[in-house]
Amino acid sequence: MRALRSVCVFCGSQPGARPAYVAAARALGRLLAQQGIATIYGGGHVGMMGALADAALAAGGRVIGVIPEHLMRPEVAHQNLDELLVVASMHERKRTMAERADAFVVLPGGYGTFEEMFEMVTWLQLRLQAKPVGMLNVEGYFDHLLAFLRHGAAEGFIRAEHRDLLLVDAAPAALLERLAQRAPMRGAAEDLERT
């Protein structure tokens, strides 16, 4: 199996309505640290983002935040990361995270999380990047979205060969294993991104 060196996590800046959401972010952060996988995320210290980063740091993991200048305020930005990259825009944030990650994991979140996830899956579909995208479906949070994607496929808007581009699991360890199996060989992803 290919080893993951770093995983980019997309998740909410809010904690959500259920304690299970924050618990899942903490569990994923710990697991990434325990497996020696660097966590790359949006750089915030609040909500799901803060829970993820704090848990990874507490478990001895490396955590890299990428935050746009307009959000770079002490009440938003995490001040205790191994690395905090301040970029000019949201577009540059996504590009930077995508370049530094071997794979992507999506946790519960809102519009921003969905937008980041769909952009990475679209890039994968269009072969603009080759890194796998996984969704951690905590307490069925994404069930309705997944049903809608099945509807999109049934209506002919998502091709059969693209239906499984988004890996879905409810268990963090199982999801990371599946992502590692799909991760491109080192060098292959970089070559594809340069084309």
Supply the pTM of this predicted model: 0.92
Residue 59 lies in a domain: yes
pLDDT of residue 195: 40
Position 163 in a domain? yes
> Is residue 49 situated within a structural domain?
yes
- Tokens read off for 104: 């992507």
The position carrying tokens 């569990």 is 27
Q: How far apart are CA 90 and CA 71, in angstroms?
A: 10
Tokens of 185: 């060989």
CATH code of residue 12: 3.40.50.450
DSSP state of 2: P
What is the per-residue pLDDT for 191?
46
Residue 161 lies in a domain: yes
Residue 9, helix vs strand vs coil: strand
DSSP string, 33-93: HHTTPEEEE--B-SHHHHHHHHHHHHTT--EEEEEEGGG--TTTB-SS-SEEEEESSHHHH
Position 195 in a domain: no
Q: The tokens of 44 are what? A: 């915030």
Q: What is the pLDDT of residue 189?
A: 45
The domain of 183 spans 6-190
d(CA 144, CA 192): 33
Q: How many CA atoms lie within 13 A of 103 on its CB side?
A: 27
pLDDT in tens, the chain (195 residues): 468 999 999 999 999 999 999 999 999 999 999 999 999 999 999 999 999 999 999 999 999 999 999 888 765 789 899 999 999 999 999 999 999 999 999 999 999 999 999 999 999 999 999 999 999 999 999 999 999 999 999 999 999 889 899 999 999 999 999 999 999 876 544 444 444
Domain count, the chain: 1
179 part of a folded domain: yes
pLDDT digits (tens, 9 = 90+) for 143-186: 999 999 999 999 999 998 898 999 999 999 999 999 999 998 76
With CA atoms as reference, report the closest residue to 107 among 189, 190, 28.
28
Task: Provide the pLDDT for residue 94.
Answer: 95
Please indicate, yes or no, if residue 52 is contained in any of the structural domains: yes
Whether residue 1 is contained in a domain is answered as: no
